Structure 1
Amino acid sequence: MKANELSDAAQRTLATWHHILERNAMEELDPLLSEHIVFRSPVAHTPYLGKAAIQLVLKTVNTVFENFRYHRSFVSEDGRSIVLEFSAEIGGKALKGIDMLRFDDQGLIEEFEVMVRPMSGLQALAAKMGAQLASATGMLKGNSNHSVPG
């Protein structure tokens, strides 16, 4: 049985994603994102739309997670999606999760969804992210009068 592979463009995007993540340089994420990017958080019912929202959320979570690392990955049959399994800690609470990325035809990320377990880790994540992003709620909900805090 042949292993599924991402398209060449998606593989380049993913390699750049890992490099950006290592440096917490989410301001460099823009060229990797589709104009129609959708981000689904494990702690928010409504998806976040747009590049500014995803950059803010990912930059913040990258400062909140301790000992973050990816373990395994799974590629979809069509080669346009990947699931990245990760582990991290928040305030002594261990958690595991997955990042599910879907790429468009040009290899840009068009969907980014995160799932986290167990509940205690998810609650710690929600509390810490909520405190960090309290001032950006309007921007995350799509209110164009708010900008990404510096």
Structure 2
Amino acid sequence: MIEKCIADWHEYIIGKKPGGLEALIADECVFISPIVFKPQVGKDLTLAYLRAAGGTLGGQGTPGEDKPAENSGKFKYTKEILAGNHAMLEFETEMDGKYVNGVDIITCNDEGKIIEFKVMIRPLQAVNAVHAAMGAMLEKMKAA
């Protein structure tokens, strides 16, 4: 099942997924941020964080829009591991001249919807840059 889920995720990333991000995320999804201590529970919070990430890690800059992160050309997945209902996707990008390396750890249910999305980022300078950019993007999204 994870193969279809990740194929759909990649279709979303390149802007070809009908229904966009909402079609991929289960209502009970949990988003685990590298910045926020407490897991964010529910589809709406997961969507907000993933859209903010697309606007920061992908360089979009348009708050709250369901646009794929890779449009900037800097964000790219470099490795992929799939097993059972789990996937690990390693990514690289650049933010404000700083190298960002991380992984998305994705779990899907038997219907192929994402039920857990965990993000880990390195190095420390990247964590700090993502923290500042995500905070600003989430504030813009709240105001929009």
Normalising by structure 2, we get a TM-score of 0.80
Query: 4+ runs of 1 displaced by more than 4 Å?
Result: none
What is the number of residues matched between the two proteins?
129
Aligned AA for 1:127?
Answer: A
Q: Which among 42, 51, 58 is matched to residue 59 of structure 1?
A: 51
Q: Partner residue of 2:42?
A: 50
Aligned AA for 1:126?
Answer: H
SS at match of 2:14: helix
Matched, 1:30 2:22: yes
Normalising by structure 1, we get a TM-score of 0.77
Matched, 1:87 2:92: yes
- The gaps in structure 1 that reach 5 residues or longer are 1-6, 137-147
SS at match of 1:73: strand
- Identity of paired residues, percent? 30
- Tell me the C-alpha RMSD between the 2 structures: 2.3
Counterpart contact for 2:3–2:82, Cα < 8 Å: no
Q: Partner residue of 1:104?
A: 109
| Structure 1 residue 149, shift from structure 2 partner | 5.8
Q: Partner residue of 2:10?
A: 18
| Structure 1 residue 24, shift from structure 2 partner | 9.5
Q: Which among 64, 73, 78 is matched to residue 80 of structure 2?
A: 73
Q: Which moves more between the two structures, 55-64 or 37-46?
A: 55-64
- Between the aligned partners of 1:93 and 1:127, the Cα distance in structure 2 is 13
